[in-house]
Structure 1
Amino acid sequence: MDSSETSGHRSPSNIAEYFGRLAATYGDGEYYGNRRRAVLEAIAGELADARDVLDVGCGNGAYLAKFAAAPGNRVRGVTGADLSIEMLLAARRRVGLECRLLCADVSRLPFKPASFDFIFASHVLQFVADVDLDGVVAEFARCLPPGGLLVATGRRDEGFRQMLSAIVGPDRWREYREVIFQHVPRRAADASPNDRYQQAFARSGLRVEERAAPFTVGWADIEELINVRWMPLIPEGEREQAGAMLAEIAELAKAGPSPRLTLREPLILGRRDG
């Protein structure tokens, strides 16, 4: 993911095409599983009170399935919306007929005001251009009734990249990064994107709370993440080189103490006051 294009400036069609290539595997593996469990645990109290749930940017339905099957909750309807048809088809295979699914742009949600009392947006705001951020958050808020809740993920801790740098050394890491992550758009050089998200929540009339969902991963989880998340984006002619580099990192990782890394998935909660 290292080009000069920032994630916030990609067009909706480019975002849909980008994630469509990942529809079969996105969210698979222990890294994503550990992260989802941590997030669901962090918002379990709020989810237990939800009745009508919207997962916007639902992808291939990994969270949708959890929302629909959450034990002891009061959910009566779960809706998933995404830009990518490929992701929605994968979601349909995952959730069957338990959830309503539709293709939608986050800036123009096709729902009446106050349609959902719980809206979840995992890694959606990162793909919204700065100039559109207030409008998108206001659109989410429009769909909430008084007392409704928006939960969005902020800029995540990518400490696993520091782990890789520590394993192979910074010079070698730069070489690996240009091959393994070259087809991923570079994020804007902003040290405090979560502050911007919170400010957008507040400007939309939402009462803001910050929360974190910590989870721990090891080298095997990171290796699996790279294979699931980034390898499918590498052109076929470059995959052999990328695979050889990943194998070299694995050998170096196994030769030393087994690395463990605790990451924190940042959550921004916005409650619409009555």
Structure 2
Amino acid sequence: MAADEISRDRRPSQIAAYFSRLSDTYGDGVYYGNRRKAVLEAIAPEFAAARELLDVGCGNGAYLTKFIAAPGSRRVTGVDLTFEMLLSARNRVGGPCRWIRANVAQLPFKPESFDFIFASHVIQFIGDVEGVVAEFVRCLQTGGVLIATGQRDDGVRQMLNAIVGEERWREYREVIFRRAARREADARPKDRYQNAFIKAGLRVEERAAPFTVTWADIDEWIRIRWMPLLPEAERDRANAMLADLAKQGVPQTLTQHEPLIIGRRDS
């Protein structure tokens, strides 16, 4: 494992340090924007009914800005482990919001505080998935909904692997993506997440949010998401690799699917 690589068994302080470097730009760009739009459309029926909303692992507020700006009356709370992310969120969110720095495994709320809990790209960084989902459910009202996104984020990388071949892909991955979160060994990690939802007493539904991006959007995503994590000495090589990829016949458009797990706490 590379020195700066983040994995789901790392301590909260290491996760916070990892994401602090991305606090100003995480979620920017067309790729992320199209993905958020697709997710918001997919969860619109549940969101419309929300009155007490928790965005857990809210990052720099990319979803919070949408939640607060949406029509309707609701109280919105954002929780994140990383101080820099919360500071960035406060600077970009133009509306009333409660801000709390906390570990998602120990949320500082009374039981049944929220009717809508949203966790975007959170649970894949967690070792004790069952424990954390149970903590979310502790804070969820009867009749409420827990929505988690981002069980896998491998579509782009799988596409690049198919285009350049396994041997060359290993070189690209080592330079550009080596600080990616370590994926679970399970062939279907979403089964593990679903089982955690079910064990916590939730009725589970799968839903997908499709969105389309261009190669230019993917190139921008790589530069926003991964380039800031590279040492200066490696960035010229990474830029050369991206230029080479553009010549390899990558599709001009690509449809991605953001997977959602929706858990309902029935009476």
List aligned pairs for 1:120-159, cutoff 5 A: 120-129=118-127, 132-159=128-155
Q: CA deviation at 1:40?
A: 0.3
Which amino acid is 1:264 matched to? H
Please show how residues 54-73 of structure 1 align to structure 2 within 5 Å: 54-71=54-71, 73=72
Q: How does 1:168-247 map to 2 (within 5 A)?
A: 168-247=164-243
Structure 2: which amino acid aligns with 1:151?
I
Bigger mean CA offset, 231-240 vs 80-89: 231-240
Q: Residue 23 of structure 1 contacts residue 59 of structure 1 at CA under 8 Å; is this kept in 2?
A: yes
Aligned match for 2:159, one of 150, 163, 181? 163
Matched, 1:249 2:245: yes
Q: Could you tell me the TM-score, scaled by structure 2's length?
A: 0.94
CA contact 1:2–1:181 (8 Å) conserved in 2: no
| Whole-angstrom distance in 1 between the partners of 2:2 and 2:197 | 29
Match of 1:264 in 2: 257
Name the CA distance, whole Å, in 1 between partners of 2:195 and 2:33.
30
2: CA distance, partners of 1:193 / 1:258? 27
Among residues 112, 115, 118, which one is paired with 1:117 in the alignment?
115
- The number of residues matched between the two structures is 267
Displacement of 1:63 in angstroms is 0.2
Q: What's the counterpart of residue 102 of structure 2?
A: 104
Alignment partners' CA distance in 2, 1:52 and 1:190: 34
C-alpha displacement of 1:259: 2.8
Structure 1 distance, partners of 2:184, 2:6, is: 5
Cα pair 1:116 1:148 within 8 Å, conserved: yes
Quote how far apart the aligned CAs of 1:19 are.
0.6
> 112-121 or 165-174: which moved more?
165-174
8 A Cα contact 1:2 1:185, kept in partner: no
Paired with 1:11 and 1:90, the residues of 2 have a C-alpha distance of: 22
Change (3 A) 1:154 1:240: closer
Q: In structure 2, how many angstroms separate the alpha carbons of the residues matched to 1:6 and 1:234?
A: 14
1:83 shift after superposition: 0.4
Structure 2: stretches of 5+ with no match in the other structure: none
Change (3 A) 1:4 1:96: closer
The residue number in structure 1 matching 2:11 is: 11
Q: TM (normalized to structure 1)?
A: 0.92
Name the amino acid aligned to 2:59: G
Contact 2:215 2:250 in 1 (8 A): no
Secondary structure in structure 1 of the residue aligned to 2:112: coil
Give the aligned partner of residue 81 of structure 2: 83
Shift of 1:258: 4.4
Post-superposition shift, 1:156?
Answer: 2.4
Identical columns (%): 67
- Mean CA deviation greater in 149-158 or 256-265: 256-265
CA distance in 2, matches of 1:52, 1:244: 48
Superposition CA RMSD, Å = 1.8
Distance (Å, rounded) in 2 between the aligned partners of 1:97 and 1:48 = 18
1:82 is displaced (CA, Å) by 0.2
Q: Is the 8 A contact 2:83 2:101 kept in 1?
A: yes
